[in-house]
Amino acid sequence: MACSTLKHVSSDPASILQLCSTLYDRNAREMQIKINNHLKKQTGSSTVFLVPLLKETEEAVVQVIGEKVLQQEMRFPLSDSYLNTTVQCRCSVEGIPSELDIELLKNLRATIEPEPRTFLNVPVCHPEENYAVLVVCLIDYDEKGMTESACANLVTELFRYCLGTMLNTFAYEEEKRKRLQCQSMLAVAKNIFSHLGDLTDLLREIMGEARKLTNAERCSLFLLDSEHDHLVANIFDGETSKETLKEMRIAKNQGIAGHVANTGEVLNIRNAYSHPLFYKGIDEITGFKTRNILCFPIRKDTDVIGVAQLCNKKNGLYFDVLDEEVAMVFSAYCGISIMHSLVYRKIQEAQARNQLINELMMYHMKVGDEDVELLLACPNSHNTSNFSNFTFSPRSLPWEEMACYTFLMFTDLELDVLFNIRRETLARFILFVEKGYRDTPYHNWRHAFCTVHFAFLLIKNLDLIKQGFITPLESLALMVSCVCHDLDHRGTTNSFQTQSGTVLANLYSSEGSIMERHHFAQAVCMLNTEGCNILDGIPREQYTKCLDLIRDLILATDLASHFRVFEEQQKLLVEFQKHKEDQRRLLLCLFMTACDLSDQTKHWSVARQTADLIYKEFFTQGDMEKTMGSSPVESMDRDKAYIPSLQIQFLDNIVIPLYGLISELFPEAECLVKAAKLNREGWTTADALFSTQWDRGGHELLSNPELDEQVMAKLKQHSGMPSCK
């Protein structure tokens, strides 16, 4: 029957008045129960329920079925529902239950026994405007005693008198809901803004609040890395702890999150597996079943800075328009808090850098013009025999001559000519770098000199530039990286920095390789110092490329990084192509590690002396850790470290495989792996002395002349130290 004004009353006016007199509740659900019971009695239906229609969102809402108040109200799009036929024609429509929304049908089956057979939808129109505001659903009405038209008349006449009350109550509850939502959002804002100091904690808090607000099972947050056009996600699974978070990167244009990042629009997916953008592979791996998804953008002003993705509305339902509304309001708080956290982190990093720079400047002196002139006018020819041979140990050179030799290595490779480096600038840079090293037992200026000397040997003896294995720019980056790779080293490891909560740890711990990142930062500081920038004569594009390579090479000196890429480096044996930049970079990182560990390829006396210096540093750190109440690892504990065993393990696991790979790539370098193996035999021989005099202390035995005598006597049985042509 059409939505029109009835001229005749077809129901009992007294019963309508009686019902209206009871509709004083300010609770729409209680009112619906009373109306449902009234219509059930009048029409002989097995049950009745009302479906309010939301014009703004084009949604249908079900809160009560008969006398049963649903634990979670149901919302579904009007356009996808059989109710839409009723609304469009504005007349009563009869149908069978299978045509109803699937979730609604589930609730009906749980409420009505036996299963409903038919239903009659009757629209109720707004008294002044020509559109339906409500649909009354009569389940299994008395078809024998009541016609469809009679049922429709009963419904229409009833709501002529009580619709205003119902609409006002709905409006009241909507205002109440919005007020509670505002209060909830204020509480959420207070909570998340209290975590600005740590971005990871903030993201975890945001995701926890998002799950609670929308009643979702899981949530992920993707932040936009605009530099690489990636979405970076820390995946929060339920109550995931900070320690178990895993980073995932996806392309900005990939999947559901990528679509939302590109369009800036909310995506509400009720059936994930039927959506073309959904990737079910993750479900197959994790065993988690994704039913529905609500994905919304996080903005800074008009720009999308991230995406939040909620999975699986609890209680078997799906996300509705209210969830979308909450998500978008919440998104604004997310964007503000994330941006403030990032700014706060930058402020902290700037403060930490300033503190480090002040500390560095107080510790070191500036390089004077007279020092530069002395280096440039050095009368010594520094013509040391075998200087360009792999067997030569730069530790044999006097400390005061190392800056001159470094200068000569750069000029011997003609790097000053190739890259327009002024001799004064190169000299000042080298002297400034020398002063950038602390007076630690091992990680000092001499170690830097040994490292850059080995890079010089590789470039020169393997003819790397001429043969096209590396470019001239890459050779410059390798030399600069080697000479700068341990700048301002404090004689402690990355793990010590983290455990001690040092300024360096606060500045770099989120990125990993704490000390290596600090060394690179100090290298950039040196290059930015007036009169020290040896790269200022090259084009901007090459300048940027060189700095990027210096960063990667210095980071490659972290052995954790070496272990990550060594398998890829081994593939160079079968697939190395000189024209591929990524393969050359892998080769350069391999060279960088080899330069850093080059003392292991020298004469036994050099390897033993190096071990003595390294363990001085290690044991000093171990003593500090004990003072702090921590237990150092075996290699750092002077009471537990058995040096020969540790050195053999180091040679077997790192050194010999490293130089073995280089010798396979470059047969001219076979002497390097032979020398490392010979030193391993030396430590095997040393083990006998250590085992008999262990009670005298492990480290002190490294200075015992008897150790060198025994080892050299054993090694003389060989043909001597290997030589390279």
Query: Does 340 count as an annotated binding residue?
Result: no
More confident residue, 505 or 286: 505
Q: Please tell me the total number of residues recorded for the chain in this structure.
A: 725
Q: How far is residue 84's CA from residue 637's CA, in Å, rounded to a whole number?
A: 77
Cβ-contact 82, 99 below 8 angstroms: yes
State residue 339's pLDDT score.
Answer: 86
Q: What is the CATH number of domain 196-344?
A: 3.30.450.40
- Highest average pLDDT, of 297-301, 573-577, 610-614, 683-687, comes from 610-614
Three-state secondary structure call for residue 683 = helix
Three-state secondary structure call for residue 220 = strand
More confident residue, 88 or 601: 601
Query: Does 699 count as an annotated binding residue?
Result: no
Q: Each residue of 137-150: pLDDT tens digit?
A: 998 887 777 788 88
**Least confident window among 74-88, 165-179, 672-686:** 74-88
**Least confident window among 4-8, 85-89, 109-113:** 4-8
Cβ-contact 424, 376 below 8 angstroms: yes
Query: Does 358 count as an annotated binding residue?
Result: no
Q: What is the mean pLDDT of the segment spanning 570-583? A: 92
**Least confident window among 48-52, 494-498, 681-685, 704-708:** 704-708
Encoding tokens for residue 485? 């790779």
Which listed residue (38, 259, 443, 562) is catalytic? 443
Query: Does 443 count as an annotated binding residue?
Result: yes
Q: What angle do CA 7, 11, 17 make, to 5 degrees?
A: 100
More confident residue, 724 or 483: 483
Spans of all domains in the chain: 13-177, 196-344, 364-596, 600-725
pLDDT above 70 (res 6): no
**Least confident window among 183-197, 606-620, 676-690:** 183-197
| Fold match flag (196-344 vs 600-725) | no
Encoding tokens for residue 301? 């002003």
Cβ-contact 90, 2 below 8 angstroms: yes
Three-state secondary structure call for residue 47 = strand
Distances (CA, A) of 19 to 124, 418, 711: 18, 97, 107
Is residue 443 part of the annotated active site? The answer reads yes
697's enclosing H/E stretch is none
DSSP letter assigned to residue 91? B
Q: How far is residue 576's CA from residue 580's CA, in Å, rounded to a whole number?
A: 8
Q: What is the mean pLDDT of the segment spanning 364-368? A: 72
Q: How far is residue 20's CA from residue 22's CA, in Å, rounded to a whole number?
A: 5
Q: Which of 224, 274, 281 is nearest to 253 (CA)?
A: 224
Q: What is the CATH number of domain 600-725?
A: 1.10.1300.10
Q: Each residue of 403-435: pLDDT tens digit?
A: 999 999 999 999 999 999 999 999 999 999 999
More confident residue, 556 or 231: 556
Query: Does 299 count as an annotated binding residue?
Result: no
Query: Between 445-461 and 581-596, two packed helices, what is the crossing angle to 10 degrees?
Result: 130
State residue 293's pLDDT score.
Answer: 92
Neighbour-count burial of 522, counting CB atoms closer than 10 A to its CB (0-12 exposed, 13-18 middle, 19+ buried):
buried
Q: What is the CATH number of domain 13-177?
A: 3.30.450.40
- Highest average pLDDT, of 24-33, 336-345, 428-437, 474-483, comes from 474-483
More confident residue, 456 or 725: 456
Q: What is the mean pLDDT of the segment spanning 12-26? A: 84
pLDDT tier, 17 (very low <50, low <70, confident <90, very high otherwise):
confident
Q: Which amino acid is at 101?
A: D
Share of the chain above pLDDT 70, in %: 93
Tell me how far the alpha carbon of residue 703 is from its chain's centroid: 47
pLDDT above 50 (res 240): no
Query: Does 399 count as an annotated binding residue?
Result: no
Query: Does 596 count as an annotated binding residue?
Result: yes
The 3-state secondary structure of 164-182, one letter per residue: HHHHHHHHHHHHHHHHHHH
Residue with tokens 């363990």: 615
CATH of 364-596 given 1.10.1300.10, 3.40.50.2300, 3.30.2270.10, 1.10.540.10 = 1.10.1300.10
Q: How far is residue 37's CA from residue 44's CA, in Å, rounded to a whole number?
A: 10
Does the pTM surpass 0.75? The reply is: no
Partners of 135 in beta bridges: 51, 123
